[in-house]
Each structure stands twice: as C-alpha cells, then as structure tokens.
Amino acid sequence: MDIHDLCRYGKRIQVGRGEIISDGIEGSDDDYMYVLDKGLAALTSTNKKGDEFIYLFFRGPRCIGFAPLVRQFLGVDPMPSIHEPAMFTILAKSDCELYRIDRKTFAMLHKEQPFRDLMMNIVFTTYMEVLYHYYTSRETSAAGRLCWLIMEQSEPDDSGSLVLDPLFTYDELSHYLGVHSITVARIMSALKKTGAITKSGRKTIIND
C-alpha cells in the first residue's frame, strides 16, 4: 500500500488559501486525516503574541493531519498535562485539493498490516523532517538554510527553468527559518548580486 492507494478511501475536498485544514494535535478536528493531492500546506503554530512559526511545508502526494487519529488508536499522549495545550495547525498556503479520510475508515484500515506499515513510515518520515529542521536551525547559518529551502521547494516551469513558487514570500520564508523578513531580503539580494538567482516579476529563478 502507498499514499496513492489511500485516495480511494477518502472524500475529495477543496480548501482555500489561508484556511485551516487540521488542528494538528489538540485541535477540534480530531475525526479526519488527509491526503494532500494538490497545493501547498504548512505545519504551523502561533504564539501568544500572534507570531506564526512554520515547521514543515507539505506538497502532494502527502499524508497530513494524521496525528490525532494515530494518537487515539495507539493510546498515547505525547503532550503531558503539565504543559499548556499545543496549538499546532495545518494551514493551506495555496488552494489545496485533498482526500479526507474519516475515523470509521481509518479504524477499518488500521486492522490491515500494509496500512499500519505505511503509517509507521509516514510518522517516522515526518518526525525526521521536523528533527532535521530543528537541527539546522541551531547548526546552520540563515543563508545556508534559505538556500536549502529554495532548492527543496523549487520546481521546473514550462521552459525548464528552476523556479521558486511566488507563494514563498519573504514573510513565509522568515516564518520557516525563524529569522526576520529583512534578513531574508538581504540574503536574497546577495544571491541576486552573485547571479545565483534572478527575479522575473514575482518569480524567483534559480540559475546556479
């Protein structure tokens, strides 16, 4: 079983840019998991000051919003009661198309070993991505992390040029990197001066 197989068990839905897909761990939407088919989403949190932090960007095909159901079916509580509730949210950063799988279907699938193996792989992969993000935020320069993110999220356009989606604004990049948007602007300016990137309208083209 792979992620594409899960689509046939879900209901196809559309979520607009800026809308909440799932409240990751302790939100109100505990009855579904999702397969992101098209679009860009992000795992985020917001502190008491209203500052947004981005931990991961998601592109399809990708299984997201599974934490509440997995936690319930495994009978584990990763958030001890002595801590304040963790407000993790998966936001649609663009218009997204997803397949929504409900609790009843999840329970049926959970009885099958191929599904459990797939979920183990998905959970482990997501854990390693979050861990790597945390590690690089401590051990790598902001410029290095920004360059890595640009390369990771860029895709070829119709002409074959490697292009960063305009959705990745300086604010979005700064929320992921944990630096001020002015820092992002300075690094991008330096990259333009060296010829590593060029701007064409809202598009960022990677040359080197």
Other residues' Cβ atoms within 10 Å of the Cβ of residue 162: 16
d(CA 99, CA 118): 16
Region 130-135 average pLDDT: 86
Tokens of 92: 């649609």
Asked whether the CA dihedral 201, 38, 71, 20 is positive or negative, the reply is positive
Per-residue pLDDT, 186:
95
Kindly indicate the confidence band of residue 27, based on its pLDDT and cuts at 50, 70 and 90. very low
Query: Which tens digits make up the pLDDT trace of 72-104?
Result: 777 766 555 545 555 688 999 999 999 999 999
Q: Kindly write down the DSSP assignment for every residue of 150-207, as one continuous string.
A: HHHH-EE-TTS-EEE-TT--HHHHHHHHTS-HHHHHHHHHHHHHHTSEEEETTEEEE-
Per-residue pLDDT, 84:
55
d(CA 123, CA 64): 10
Q: Say what the pTM is.
A: 0.80
Per-residue pLDDT, 206:
93
Region 10-20 average pLDDT: 94
3-state secondary structure of 110: helix
